[in-house]
Structure 1
Amino acid sequence: MSSNGHAIRGTRIGAIQALHSERGEPVPRQRVSYWCANGHETVTSFALYIEVPTEWDCTCCGWPSSRDQHNPPQRRTVKPYKSHLTYVRERRSEEEAEDLLAEALAARAARRGELI
């Protein structure tokens, strides 16, 4: 490639960052460590002027973590997924379900002109 000024100039990966005068001054930061009940440490960087949260989600397991390494927050209980049928069964007894089914089948048969 010739050096007549037509070559594309760039930077390589890992090159030194652009000068501060071009990009502005970086915000002063603080690094904060959080620990979960599984013993994982999550290190997060925050600006110096903000209020640091008391809890943060662990990046390894997703459980809540706090800044106190020796007393991390307990795992939250996760409610299992309930289907529509499960909610219906909680509201209706078996006898009510049988009555509703019989009514629905009778109404369907009547619409079709069938005899029961």
Structure 2
Amino acid sequence: MQVVFHLSSGDVDDWRHALGNVRNLLADDTADVDDVVLLVNGDAIRAVEAGSPVSTEVRALGETPVRCLGCRNSVSSRDMAATDLLANVDLVPSGVGELARLQDEGYAYLKVP
């Protein structure tokens, strides 16, 4: 199974909720997971910024099979630089474009929270 978690909220509690969902999926022995993506766009791009309230948890995902993707459009529209993001976050040109591509490839889409 391939899963993409989509996070767009700017609310820190929503970020924590989303990360908990990702961890729960990874810990579920009944789920045969091949690939997990956490894609952030909109105001959630701040969650993957160095120094964010959840930066430690996002950085820890780098030690798991989870791929963290951020939306370049969201970075640009918030006057951020790619270097502001955690090292384990890769940028895609468009978050919504990447979501559509992944769903077309068969990824299960989970909007969190």
Normalised by the length of structure 2, the TM-score is 0.20
State the TM-score, normalized to the length of structure 1: 0.19
Where relative contact order (Cα < 8 A, 6+ residues apart) is larger, the structure is 2
Structure with greater Cα Rg: 1
Higher strand proportion (structure 1 or 2): 2
Higher helix share: 2
